[in-house]
Amino acid sequence: MANLTSMSGFLLMGFSDNRELQILHALLFLATYLLALTGNLLIITVTSLDHHLQSPMYYFLKHLSLLDLCFISVTVPQSITNSLMNNGYISYVQCILQVFFFIALASSEVAILTVMSYDRYVSICRPLQYETIMNPCICRYAVTAVWLAGGLSGLMHTAVNFSIPLCGERVIHQFFCDVPQMLKLACSHEFIHEIAVAAFTTSAAFICLVSIVLSYVHIFSTVLRIPSAEGRTKVFATCLPHLFVVTFFLSTAGFEFLQPPSDSQSGMDIMLSIFYTVIPPTLNPVIYSLRNEAMKAALKKVLSKGEFAQRKMYLKTIFKF
Q: Tens of pLDDT along 42-70? A: 889 888 888 778 889 889 999 999 999 99
89 DSSP assignment = E
This prediction has a pTM of 0.84
**Could you count the other beta carbons within 10 Å of the beta carbon of residue 100?**
22
Residue 258 phi, psi dihedral angles, 5° rounding: -100, -5
Model pLDDT, residue 2: 45
Q: Provide the CA 24 distance to its chain's centre, in angstroms.
A: 24
Model pLDDT, residue 286: 82
What is the four-CA torsion angle of 283, 255, 111, 204, rounded to 10 degrees?
A: 180
Q: Are 198 and 103 in contact (CB under 8 A)?
A: no
List residues bridging with 166 in a β-sheet: 186
Give pLDDT < 50 ranges for the chain: 1-2, 5, 318, 321
Q: Are 282 and 32 in contact (CB under 8 A)?
A: yes
Give ∠ CA 121-102-190 in degrees, rounded to 5.
Answer: 115
List residues bridging with 90 in a β-sheet: 10
From CA 303, how far away is CA 289, in angstroms rounded? 14
Coil, helix or strand at residue 162: coil
Burial of 33 (0-12, 13-18, 19+ CB in 10 A): buried
For the chain, the first-to-last Cα distance in angstroms comes to 53
184 DSSP assignment = T
Side chain identity, residue 314 = Y
From CA 131, how far away is CA 128, in angstroms rounded? 8
From CA 200, how far away is CA 204, in angstroms rounded? 6
Q: Provide the CA 145 distance to its chain's centre, in angstroms.
A: 16
Residues 6+ apart with CB under 8 A from 239: 120, 124, 216, 219, 223
